[in-house]
């Protein structure tokens, strides 16, 4: 695959992501902005406890319903309804998992195109939390996350494959539409680009765009890699893509 072809494909992927996020189901922007929000682990615990209490009180007020045996949601004789019902409630995480981030690198004096899939696992106490008014669904934003990022790079030295384990920190208060953060890791070039198997020291700076704590963000990562073997030991790159949190 040529560098131009890869660049065109990843640019199209980002356009698809933007269209999907802009058209995602829900309510109007003015209505989506009606949140109860809190910042800090202590405030989030208090809001979560308040939400749990109010939800239980609401449940007690509801009339008892007779049990209804669930009917299969078959389409053309197959349970496609069950499949699409599950996907419909999880499309954000599906998009974030499957669609690559588009990026570019400067490898020496030569540019290269990058497509990568940064899969993250957030952990630690929530720093920011929210619930939409009229619901009892809490959303939590944790600042710490572990990443594994496989990817493809295409440049004048051919096509290469890499993976990057790392750690990322993102600070995103509830009233901000821009989160800031950083991280570090190591990019392991596995094959291609006429480079030997090698690993780097890889710090990064991160900007995250979106409304906290609704799950749907765009992340811009600017990264520096220093390798100790092979050619092009110092590489600078950036990537943009859709993330779940």
Q: What does the pLDDT look like over 166-180, one tens digit per residue?
A: 999 999 998 889 999
Give the whole-angstrom CA distance, residue 170 versus residue 193. Answer: 32
Say if CB 167 and CB 124 are below 8 A apart.
Answer: no
Q: Convert the pLDDT of each residue in 112-161 to its tens digit.
A: 999 999 999 999 999 999 988 888 888 899 999 999 999 999 987 788 89
Residue 14 clears pLDDT 70, i.e. is over it: no
pTM of the model: 0.76
- Determine the pLDDT at residue 29: 45
Distance of alpha carbon 108 from alpha carbon 155, whole angstroms: 11
Alpha helices in 138-216 (DSSP H): none
pLDDT at 98: 87
Q: What b/e readout covers 93-124, taking b as 16+ CB neighbours within 10 angstroms?
A: eebbeebbbbbbbebeeeebbbbbbbebebee
Whole-number pLDDT of residue 223:
96
């Amino acid at each position: 695959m040529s560098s131009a072809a890869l660049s065109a494909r990843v640019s199209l992927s980002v356009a698809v992501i933007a269209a999907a996020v802009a058209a995602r189901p829900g309510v109007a922007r003015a209505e989506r902005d009606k949140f109860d929000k809190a910042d800090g682990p202590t405030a989030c615990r208090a809001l979560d406890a308040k939400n749990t209490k109010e939800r239980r009180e609401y449940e007690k007020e509801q009339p008892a319903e007779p049990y209804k045996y669930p009917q299969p949601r078959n389409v053309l004789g197959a349970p496609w309804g069950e499949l699409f019902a599950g996907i419909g409630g999880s499309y954000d995480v599906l998009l974030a998992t499957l669609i690559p981030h588009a990026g570019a690198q400067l490898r020496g004096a030569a540019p290269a195109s990058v497509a990568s899939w940064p899969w993250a696992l957030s952990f630690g106490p929530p720093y920011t939390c929210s619930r939409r008014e009229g619901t009892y669904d809490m959303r939590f934003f944790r600042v710490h996350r572990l990443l594994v990022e496989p990817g493809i790079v295409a440049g004048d030295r051919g096509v290469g494959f890499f993976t990057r384990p790392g750690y990322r920190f993102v600070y995103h208060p509830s009233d901000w539409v821009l989160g800031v953060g950083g991280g570090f890791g190591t990019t392991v070039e596995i094959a291609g680009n006429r480079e030997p198997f090698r690993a780097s020291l890889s710090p990064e700076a991160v900007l995250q765009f979106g409304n906290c704590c609704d799950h749907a963000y765009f992340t811009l990562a600017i990264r520096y890699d220093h390798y100790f073997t092979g050619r092009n030991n110092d590489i600078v790159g950036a990537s943009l893509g859709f993330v779940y949190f």
